[in-house]
Structure 1
Amino acid sequence: SVAEGVETEGQLAWLRAHGCEIVQGYLFSKPVDPAIFEDLLAKEATKC
């Protein structure tokens, strides 16, 4: 399952401590336009 709405490091730590590995929320990024998301995804893919 996916934890949605993660906004703080404390929330993330609690989720990780309880076995949740898939999270999303403002802690990582505010909503972005699909075209911008594609650019961000492409940039991150080159880091792997």
Structure 2
Amino acid sequence: MIPFADNERGNCFLLSLRDIDYGRIYIWLMDEKELGFVSQSFDEFINALS
């Protein structure tokens, strides 16, 4: 996974390059040390911001 952004709480957004979920976006929650699903694609992630 490739980190590409973080939020004000220090959580890191990741782009998956794995075969099983290529292109999906996840967030690494620093406090919980847990990976959470965000969106199916980078385009979907960007569109949800506006």
Greater relative contact order structure (CA < 8 Å, 6+ sep)? 1
TM-score by length of 2: 0.29
Give 1 or 2: higher helix fraction.
1
The structure having more radius of gyration, on CA atoms, is 1
